[in-house]
Structures are given as C-alpha cells and as structure tokens.
Amino acid sequence: MIHLISSKFLDISTIQDILHADATLDLSTEATEKIRACRNYLEKRLQDQKAPIYGINTGFGSLCNVKISDEHLSKLQENLVTSHACGTGDRVPKAIIKLMLLLKVQSLSYGHSGVQLQTVQRLIDFYNHDILPVIFEQGSLGASGDLAPLAHLALPLLGKGTVYYKGEEIPSTEVLKAFDWQPIQLKAKEGLALLNGTQFMSAYGVYSLLKSYKLSYFADFFAAISLEAFDGRIEPFNDLIHIIRPHNGQLKTAKRIQEFVEGSELISQEKKHVQDPYSFRCVPQVHGATKDTLAFIRKTFETEINSVTDNPNIFIAEDEIISGGNFHGQPLALALDYLAIAMAELGNISERRTFQLVSGLRDLPDFLVNNPGLNSGFMIPQYTAASIVSQNKQYATPASVDSIVSSNGQEDHVSMGANAATKALKVVDNIERVLAIELLNASQALVFRAPLKSSEFIEAFLQTYRMTVPFVDEDRELHIAIRDTLSFLQLTFVENEVLFG
C-alpha cells in the first residue's frame, strides 16, 4: 500500500490504515508542486528584499532582532537544529517517532513552509526505510513547537545524531553511507520549518487516541462479560432510558452492551436482585461520556494534523511572509489533559467491577477460586488494578494549566502540551492493564455460572482467550496471566468500522 501525501483530509481512520498496512509514503504531484513553488518564492523574496524576516535572516526567540548576513543563512539553520537538540529522559517509542515523520511531512507539504523538496523527500525516505531518529521524551514546552524533540528528528538529515535501523541504534552517518545519501544542506528558513511545529504532541496524541478507541471498545466488551458473570440485569441498557438522555456515547454504549449479550441464557434468567451497583448499571453513562470526549479530542487532532504549524508562514498568492504563533500547543494540551481524565474514568469503573466480582457476592466464590483460604485466588489482581487507577488519578492532574517563561521573556506563555502528551500515554497504557485484569477476573467468574452460557459472541471470544490464559484451578503466578492477557489484547485487531463507526 502506498499513501500519497496531499491536501486531502487526513483522518484518524486513514492513519490507522496506514499503520496497519505498513504503507509507504510518496508525495502527490500536487504536494510536490506546492513545495517547489513555495521554495522558489522564498528564494526570490530573499534576493529582492534585504529587510529582516524573522527566522529566515534573523536570530531566533529573543535573538529575533539580530540580522544574519546572506552568506551565513545556511549555517544559521544548521546551528539552529544542532543547538536545539537537547532532549533528555526516556526514549520516545519507535511507533510514535514514525508518526512524527508522517505528520511532519504532511505539515510541510502544504506549501507554506519554504522547505526544499529534497528535505521533505529525505524525511519520506526515513519513514519508508524504517530509519527512525532517536528522540527523547523531555525537552519541549509545547509552545514554540516541539523544539527539542523535532531537532532530534531533524539531526539525521544533516548526518548528525543517531537512528534506529534494523534493530540497532547507530550514528546517522552510517545510514547515509549505506544508502549513498549526502547530508541535506539546509537553506534559509528550513531549520525553523523543521523545528517549529507540534508533531511531537500530535504524534503522541494520535497514537494515544487510536489506542483509546480500541480500549473504549474493550471496556464495553469486558463490562458485558462482567455483567454476565455478576448475573446482572439488562434493563439499564434499554433504549428507552437513553433516548430521553440522548448523549451519543451513552446511546452507543447501551446498544453495544445489548448486542454483546444478545442470545445469552444468563442475561435472560430470572434475577433475585432488583438493582445492580453503579459500576454495572451506569456503564452507558460513564463509558459513554468517555466516548463523547474521544470524539472532541479526535476533532482537535484531526484539525491539527491537517494544519501548518511552523513559523513564519509563507503565502505566495498574497505575497506575504507572516510571523505568528501556529506552533503554540494549547489546543493539544487541553485535549491531551482531557484524554487522560476521560480514559482514567474507564479504569476507575473497571476496577470497581473487578472488586465486585471478587467479593463473594451473588453465589460467586470468594476471590473467584475453589477452596478460598487455602487459595488466595484473584485477591491481589484487584490490588494491582487499584494501585494503577490511583496512579492514573495522579497522572490526570492537568499540565495545560501550567506555564513557564523562556527565551528571555520572548516566549512568556507556553502550553506544556508535551508533558500532557507523555503522561496521557502513561494513562492509556495503564488503562490497558486495568482492563486486562477485568477480563481475567470476568472470564474466571463466568466459569462458575455453568451450565448456563453467555451469548455466542462472548463464548467464542472466551474460548479463544482460554487458549492463551487458562482457567485458574489453584493459586499460580497471576502476573503471568496478566502479561499474557495484555499480549492477547495487543494482538487482537478491531476493524475501523467498529472503532470509529
């Protein structure tokens, strides 16, 4: 599969397809022409105008009033990339680095950034050959773009820095030599075009959002399995209730649960209890609110990844080069904080369902094991889930309300969107673990409901799952069961129509 970079709207579903198919990138004729036209315009403008133009023939940040002579413009851009590559901390996951390359190419392709065609093509070459610059999590304030991470993304263009290639971390010079590539000689404006931008925040956001949609589906599915195992009631999922409070996510969740348990002997049997706890009864309302939040976040990020976020911006038709602030990450910072909060709630309610299942209620054995006392059974996985959801509450503290002054006061308000991005992913990864623990518990509990069966869909899923994680007859190392459940979920592909429909 080849994905053509163009002005066609790039949505989350398309990115999922690109990643799943391991597609290669190529520039459309339209994008190629826009990049060339913008560069040609900029070259002519530099010949005709000697007045300072920020970032093109001036210094950067608080050095914006320092004019740079023409013979030093290329060195200026190289120095910019080199000096700004001061990230630290943990390494950015490779999947996110690859997304950064895709999103940076997309942003540069609109013809408002003034880069050389060969610069964009080299980024595409990196993407297509899985040459991934080594980037670090810490260093971006999320305001003048993601300066430090994007500097590390750009270093290998110059034959500097290190890259991941064929399972190794090697100097970029070795990769350039292997492909017989010369280092890119950056021209005026290019370094700033590469460094200004929100592709670090955006890549984290897109990656976390794609994973969140999958986990949102699993949260509904595992809630349905838990409902069956807890001998829950179906009435709270009746359409009539949700039509009179018609939040989209609530309606969708209730419909999903009904579909999951359709044909179940357990759900249709007579119940001894009148009501279920909120963690079961309010699944549509809680899970639905997260779905509605994901819809807002999706809109924010789809707008962002189809935008030009470097500075200054070049407008050929209007004969204008304008310095503004499209690199500021505030929209993303708010959305990423919202994502962390919304996903944390899926973990909160999931852990409560797990707690109910191990509590010896509704004819289920204490801690879901035979001979409780001799066996501790599923006592401690609930502790693990409780620990994780409490950690998520700490991670869900907003980063976007913070700011700090930088660059001698020139950059006096920042979004902290990069910090919001990295901790949002921590929350999402944690939710995967909490949901894995719920599935482990719910599947164990359902065995004690035999000979009654759940729906055909649930029974078929659990039959496949049991090949990876068998029923626990007596105590064993349950961290292995949690680990294997996580692997099972990560290998389970959910169709786009199900995730985004």
The list of the chain residues with pLDDT below 70 reads: 60-64
The residues that bridge with 315 in the sheet, in sequence order, are: 320
Report pLDDT for 53.
78
**Residues assigned a catalytic role:** 54
CA distance 122 to 95: 19
Helix and strand counts by DSSP (H, E) for the chain: 20, 9
* CB neighbourhood size of 484 (10 A): 16
* CB neighbourhood size of 164 (10 A): 19
For 196, 306, 345, 396, 416, the CA distances from 309, given in Å and listed in that order, are: 7, 9, 32, 27, 16
Q: Is 319 exposed, middle or buried (0-12, 13-18, 19+ CB in 10 A)?
A: exposed
Per CATH, domain 204-500 is 1.10.645.10: no
CA distance 348 to 282: 13
Report pLDDT for 61.
66
Report pLDDT for 73.
81
DSSP helix/strand/coil, 278: helix
Report pLDDT for 51.
78
Contact 421, 205 (CB under 8 A): yes
Report pLDDT for 64.
66
Report pLDDT for 436.
98
CATH class of 2-197: mainly alpha
* CB neighbourhood size of 189 (10 A): 30
Contact 312, 322 (CB under 8 A): yes
Structural domain boundaries of the chain?
A: 2-197, 204-500
**Residues with Cβ within 8 Å of residue 176, at least 6 apart in sequence:** 156, 159, 182, 183
DSSP assigned state of 170: E
Q: Mind listing the pLDDT tens digit for each residue in 18-28? A: 999 999 999 99
The two tokens of residue 451 are 């000979």
CA distance 226 to 52: 66
- CA 218, 222, 228 angle in degrees (round to 5)? 155
Report pLDDT for 130.
98
Report pLDDT for 76.
87
CA distance 461 to 453: 13
DSSP helix/strand/coil, 482: helix
For 34, 110, 225, 267, 307, the CA distances from 113, given in Å and listed in that order, are: 10, 8, 51, 59, 11
